[in-house]
Structure 1
Amino acid sequence: MFGTQQRGVNAYAKVGLETGIVSASPHKLIVMLYDGALVAVLSAQMHMKSGNVPEKGKAISRAIQIIDNGLRASLDKEVGGEIAENLDALYEYMGARLLAANLNNDITVLEEVQRLLTDLRETWNAIGSTPAATPGADLKRMPSLASA
């Protein structure tokens, strides 16, 4: 008649996640994607170490999906220019590396992708905590340009 306690916990967590997504800024949404990809990679590492092949595969697939359908899909190459192009190439590289890790059962590759995701997440957080520069503020500090 009643569901398991775990089902209730999962439902509660899902509602919390959905509420967080709806109320999150675009910047926070990217952080959440990085977090999700990192959790999936860490889960894959755990399952790889324990020999749980089906769960390892699911976790790696989840990480690839987040990277491809979340992080890569959110790139605007027209506005982002070279940075967006470079990120796209890096995300593509990470996806290929995750596939290789899955096929070869190579935990060092998972650790490599984990480091890349962690570095990108930290950089993204640093960008988000830096206030945007006022347009023209740099010109005021440069006498030759400010007086021109």
Structure 2
Amino acid sequence: MSADQGINAYQQISLQTDIAGATPHQLIVMLFDGAHSALAQAGIWMARGNIARRGEEVSRAIAIIECGLLATLDYEKGKTLAQDLANLYRYMIYTLLKANLNNDPEAIKHVDALLKKISSAWKEITPQR
């Protein structure tokens, strides 16, 4: 096992442990953090001209937004807010697809800034027990 494989294995175990002990609120925070990390990596790979790695990271961010943030919205409780967030998440997904296709770092930064605003607001919420 190489050093990189060992580090990756350790990170996976650490992440699984964090997920297992997290509240639903903390899981959403982790999704935001994961999307931000993927977009930061996509920007780095874009700057280096590595199309394949850029695509992987943009795809990872899209999956987090679509299968994590969008899929967990509660339309019954959230009503208009949930619908507005769903529309915003769909906009982000579309923008990231175009950013990847057109090699557009500004579009990636734009989506990341939107995610940071929502994440910041989410982190200020105190979950009710």
Taking structure 2 as the reference length, the TM-score comes to 0.96
1:1-148, aligned counterparts within 5 Å?
Answer: 3-128=1-126
What whole-Å deviation, never above 9, does each CA across 1:80-106 have from its counterpart, x for those lacking one? 100000000000000000001001111
Gaps of 5+ in 1: 133-148
Gaps of 5+ in 2: none
Runs of 4+ with >2 A deviation: none
What whole-Å deviation, never above 9, does each CA across 1:24-46 have from its counterpart, x for those lacking one? 01000000000000001111111
Partner-residue secondary structure (3-state), 1:24? coil
Q: Matched residues in 2 for 1:53 and 1:101: separation?
A: 12
In the alignment, what sits opposite 1:142?
none
CA RMSD of aligned residues (A): 1.0
How far apart are residue 5 of structure 1 and its match? 1.7
Q: Matched residues in 2 for 1:105 and 1:6: separation?
A: 28
Partner-residue secondary structure (3-state), 2:125? helix
Letter paired with 2:99: A
Q: Matched residues in 2 for 1:106 and 1:89: separation?
A: 22
Letter paired with 1:46: I
Taking structure 1 as the reference length, the TM-score comes to 0.84
Paired residue total: 128
Q: Matched residues in 1 for 2:14 and 2:47: separation?
A: 30
From the CA coordinates, give the structure whose radius of gyration is larger: 1
How far apart are residue 8 of structure 1 and its match? 1.3
Q: Percent identity?
A: 45
What whole-Å deviation, never above 9, does each CA across 1:29-84 have from its counterpart, x for those lacking one? 00000000000111111111110000000000000000000000100111110000
